Chains A and B, each alone.
Chain A
């Protein structure tokens, strides 16, 4: 009977720890309902400097996570670019002027952002 009692106490301690963990996670805002997801899809010629700037944002910070899906960097893309960008197979987002670039960047991922 003593053994049963000790077992019950152990279970109680575990449940209390789990309860404290959940409370702490809630306090830190680690609930899915308090985060938003933004899917990013990019395919355009960019300069090396702009490439560095874009990739510099695709990291994890205290406020957001970046979930990488795929990356494609292609140099010497003139032929491909002619087909994709000048041939009208793929439309750039309206208002985005066609940029002269050193490389063709293709990037997909999701930003997971904590709500303020």
Chain B
């Protein structure tokens, strides 16, 4: 049984999991409580690759190669599940890539909800299972749902291969063909990396084709994760995907820091309420004690005043009404400290790379901070553009800006980037 509300998006279908009940829903708007949202991101691809680049730049190179290969005809975002330096100049990476437009749509949708929602890529779940299960050697995690099979092959220390295999429909022949593709992919990976896959771990969902319809000649032991009894739209079913979800941690979410903090904060709320109740009880007890004690002090004070009258204590100065003026001066002080529009433009101008043209600049002022969004393009070869972009980020950090979100996309002779910055007003 799931301890928290869970929403799962698979191939465009949304499922809501509440305890042992699973139902398909039309839209995320139907979810009104805090939840985890696991999604395959619709138009995404999940792959492994070895890239000629330092780990620091590997995502940029992946984005570039995906666009150059024509896999995406718009800016791409890359979510990294795992990466590791390979030799002096190369890096192995396991990632999910999707159009930036869609990625930001997911993040914005989650951010604009009243309740908290943490977003997790589907392949983070499969990778979680792989890390837990593959201690005894390479294994393949295969999540077959409907006409799809999402798979990842590797060990806890290295991911060799990942892919989504697709059949035309869910008929027996097509599902057999789907598993045939899975089998070929595993064999090719064994041959390419000179490894032997020891086990295949199938994960099941409410629309997984039952095992008795799988091809009988699979050369590996199928070690299915333990299924959990659930009811899907009123019918009994057994799924192991919910067990796989338990390998996730909040920190693995792709949601921003603010969303994670809000989610964890709400989780902690019952404990905070308990502590507050306890504190209230203690204060109540302390109140009774203080009342008794204060009566004694009042008596002592009366006696002291009588004695004071005889020893020439200075006359009291009339109370000064200062609150209104003080508050207004503090307000003016805050205004004086806030960077003006011109100062923000100067900060950006000071570090702007050659060939940079601003397409959109937004600044909004809140209590004690200013948020800046900059969308710009750089007309220069990739290397120059990226170095200039990094100089800009470094310079802005030195000026006290915190870089909340950064996105850099490139073509051969033109690059674009998006920066969301925040600066405290002190």
Contacts and interface: CB of A to CB of B under 8 A. Distances in A.
A58 to B, nearest CB: 5
Contacts of A21: 322
B336 interface: yes
Given A72-B361, A73-B360, A107 B308 contact: no
A32 interface: yes
Interface residues of B, number: 36
A19 B325 contact: no
Interface residues of A, number: 37
A24 to B, nearest CB: 10
B340 A66 contact: yes
Interface in A62-103: 65-76
Contact of B340 (A12, A59, A75): A59
Contact of B341 (A16, A18, A68, A74): A68
Nearest to B358: A75
A56 to B, nearest CB: 7
A62 to B, nearest CB: 11
Contacts of A15: 317, 319-320
A40 to B, nearest CB: 12
Interface in B304-329: 304, 307-308, 311-314, 316-317, 319-322, 324-325, 328-329
A56 B314 CA distance: 54
Interface of A: 1, 4-5, 8-9, 11-12, 15-16, 18-19, 21-22, 25-26, 30-32, 55-56, 58-60, 65-76, 107, 112
Ranked 8 nearest A-B pairs via Cβ: A15-B317, A71-B363, A70-B364, A32-B328, A73-B361, A18-B320, A65-B335, A19-B320
Given A68-B338, A69-B364, A72-B362, 17 more contacts: A1-B308, A4-B308, A9-B314, A15-B319, A22-B325, A31-B325, A31-B328, A55-B340, A59-B342, A65-B332, A66-B340, A68-B365, A71-B364, A72-B360, A73-B361, A74-B359, A75-B358
